[in-house]
Amino acid sequence: MRQASIILHLWKATIIQSMEYRASFVFAIIANFFDFIFGLLQYLVFFTAAKSIAGWDSDQMLVLYGVFMLVFALHFILLYPNLVAMGDMVNSGNLDLLLTKPINAQLVVSFKRISLEELGSIGTAALLLGWQFYRGIIVADLGNFLLFGVGIITSLLLIYCMFLLLICLAVLMERLDNMSQLLWSFFSLARYPVEIYPNRIRYVFMSFFPVAFIATIPASALLGRASSVTVWSGFALAIVGVVGCSWLWRCTIKSYTSAGG
Amino acid sequence: MFNMPVMNEQVHEYAIVTKALNREFKVRLKAEGLLASVRNFFSPASKTVNAVNDLELQINRGDIVGFLGPNGAGKTTTLKMLSGLLVPTSGSIEVLGYTPFNRDHAFLKSISLVMGQKQNLWWDLPPVETFAIHRQIYGLTDAEYKSRIDELIAMLEIADCLETQTRKLSLGQRMRCELAVSLLHQPQILFLDEPTIGLDIIMQKKIRSFLLDYHRRFNPTILLTSHYMDDVAALAQRVIVIDHGNKVYDGHLTDLTNKLHPEKIISVLLNDGEFVCKLEDGCRLIHHEGQHYRFMVSRNRVPELAARLYATGNIADLTIEDPPLEDLIGQLFTPDSQSR
């Protein structure tokens, strides 16, 4: 509870901080809204030339896009600002001060900052999914919704694993620019259904480099076309991943050499 | 289970104990030029540097100890090991009975690390917001927080800068707020790494006077590194000098100055005329301008010479002082001083 309360206070501080620069804050919200619209147009352009892509028709693709944007926005709100700040935190030595505090350093490094600029994208993604539900593309089925919930949690946990791996690299290497680019590449693979990739790559995306679990599997769950075995296997994989990455973080901190001095 | 704080309080009379403490770093080497950079990119060369060598420390609870040494001597590395940031290569450390690098929360609640060049304060927020975050981190109750923060605000005279964004504060105001944040949880051990760096003389004095006052009230153990010898002279009675990771002196500051420089400076301002006395053994003139004279005098001859100068009846002012501490410590690290 104390750790959660600390994180809430840190979030409060970052929200106050981001509101210091009002114009930048408002501009970011507008830019993110247009980013969402342009992404949507991209999908619609595909379907002027084809009725379906790898077995996904335009309505199903919109569900996939809604799920993808939801996950992307959550990552952008919770993790992205912390990833961007990490390199500077290591170089400036401010990680040193953090590590001398009686707190869960992994938790604070991961969630110290929050960015509300993508909050609008969550709203628009929810609207898109709501619209598809209203149109009957998403079937009202409790089992599907449960699998979707598990799928979204899996997706966020896997993104967190990737984030934690990059954070550990930043600490070990003392400098690792463009870490966020790597995560963006990961996302750019996830915005399309894994079925569009050749079989071998699809296998990799379902196992070692689980891109499929970011958006395709949760969207499939909403559409009632995901097997519960796949969803729960992904969840188990994500739990193992988080435990493994947390262990890696602890090892990284033990071998941390600190900046200067 | 082995680190119960109450038990530690009873058992450990020392706040800090280190035995044969070592810390090595791998340092990357690179020769000059583009070709060397390309070669180094594919086959990086490195060497191992011993930042701290077999360091033995025993520091009593409530002591203020100055930690001196030139740049790269291993002072900050030692502080980082003592505060749990770095894991030693070998040797043992006990701070308040805890092994620092285990980073027990009870241990971390008992210490504070203040680094003059790094800050806890959030740059775009007023200090009061950072105080509130630290209150949560250390789990202080409303009453504890209020009484402590009020006391620190009064002692550090920071009431007027609490609600100004940190980025708009002067360096001195920032440092005082930084100290307030670091002391909010009333640590038993305070590690101060260059706390007055970059501050003007007046602010340095304010910080020193605050630290003395704080120590008098709460009696924490303080380990201080500073390049400003006045900080060390004003705060610490005991100094530990390290060079290239090796401890070269551990004892009272006055003993160190006596050992390094068995002389004092007598400055004299005459009423009129010139100084006509014959200089004797153990006394030499080091500066003369108008009616102002400065002599370097053996410590054991100072009382006698001062009395004789007064007896001339031509003295407007006379002061006796130690040579600047910077010069003394500087001597300690010159190659010909190693035999001292």
Q: For residue range B201-213, what is the model confidence (pLDDT) as tens digits?
A: 888 999 999 999 9
Q: For residue range B48-94, what is the model confidence (pLDDT) as tens digits?
A: 889 999 999 999 999 999 988 888 889 999 999 999 999 999 999 99
Residue of chain B whose alpha carbon sits nearest to that of A250: B102
Q: For residue range A78-134, what is the model confidence (pLDDT) as tens digits?
A: 998 898 888 888 888 889 999 999 999 999 999 999 988 788 888 889 999 999 999
Residue of chain B whose alpha carbon sits nearest to that of A105: B103
Q: Is A22 on the interface with B (CB under 8 A)?
A: no
Decide if A193 is inside a domain: yes
Interface of A with B in 160-189 (CB under 8 A): none
Residue of chain B whose alpha carbon sits nearest to that of A251: B87
Residue of chain A whose alpha carbon sits nearest to that of B190: A100
Query: Could you say which DSSP state residue B54 is in?
Result: E
Mean pLDDT for all residues in chain B? 86
Decide if A161 is inside a domain: yes
H or E element in which residue B105 lies: helix B105-108
Q: How far apart are CA A25 and CA A22, in angstroms?
A: 5
Q: Is A20 on the interface with B (CB under 8 A)?
A: yes
Q: With CA atoms as reference, report the closest residue to A88 among A176, A20, A7.
A: A176
What band does B10 get if pLDDT is binned at 50, 70 and 90? very low
- Residues of chain B neighbouring A6 (CB-CB closer than 8 A): 133, 136-137
Considering its fold, how many domains does chain A have in total? 1
Task: Give the residue numbers spanning the domain of A71.
Answer: 2-255
Strand pairing of B263-270 and B283-289?
A: unpaired
Decide if A261 is inside a domain: no
- Residues of chain B neighbouring A257 (CB-CB closer than 8 A): 25, 86
What pLDDT sits at residue A249? 95
- Closest-CA distance of chain A to residue B137, Å: 6
User: Closest partner residue to A13 among B75, B83, B125, by Cβ?
Assistant: B125
Decide if A260 is inside a domain: no
Across the interface, whether the CB atoms of A13 and B119 are under 8 A apart is answered: no
Decide if A71 is inside a domain: yes
Q: Would the ipTM clear 0.85, i.e. be above it?
A: no
Q: With CA atoms as reference, report the closest residue to B93 among B17, B22, B24.
A: B17
Decide if A156 is inside a domain: yes
Across the interface, whether the CB atoms of B136 and A20 are under 8 A apart is answered: no
Q: Extract the tokens encoding B213.
A: 């006052």
Average pLDDT score over residue span A155-168:
93
* Residue in the structure block whose two tokens are 């800090």: B16
H or E element in which residue B148 lies: helix B142-156
Q: How many CB atoms lie within 10 A of CB B110?
A: 24
Decide if A91 is inside a domain: yes
Q: With CA atoms as reference, report the closest residue to A60 among A129, A145, A121.
A: A129
Percent of chain A with pLDDT over 90: 44
Residue A138 contacts residue A223 (beta carbons within 8 Å): yes
Interface of A with B in 88-117 (CB under 8 A): 92-94, 96-97, 99-103
What does pTM read for this prediction?
Answer: 0.81
Decide if A230 is inside a domain: yes
What does chain A look like in DSSP terms, one character per residue? -HHHHHHHHHHHHHHHHHHHSHHHHHHHHHHHHHHHHHHHHHHHHHHHH-SEETTEEHHHHHHHHHHHHHHHHHHHHHTHHHHHHHHHHHHHTHHHHHHTSSS-HHHHHHHS---GGGHHHHHHHHHHHHHHHHTTSS---HHHHHHHHHHHHHHHHHHHHHHHHHHHHHHHHS--TTHHHHHHHHHHHHTS-GGGS-HHHHHHHHTTS-GGGTTHHHHHHHTT-S-HHHHHHHHHHHHHHHHHHHHHHHHHHHT---S--
Measured in degrees and rounded to the nearest 5, phi and psi for residue A155 equal -55, -50
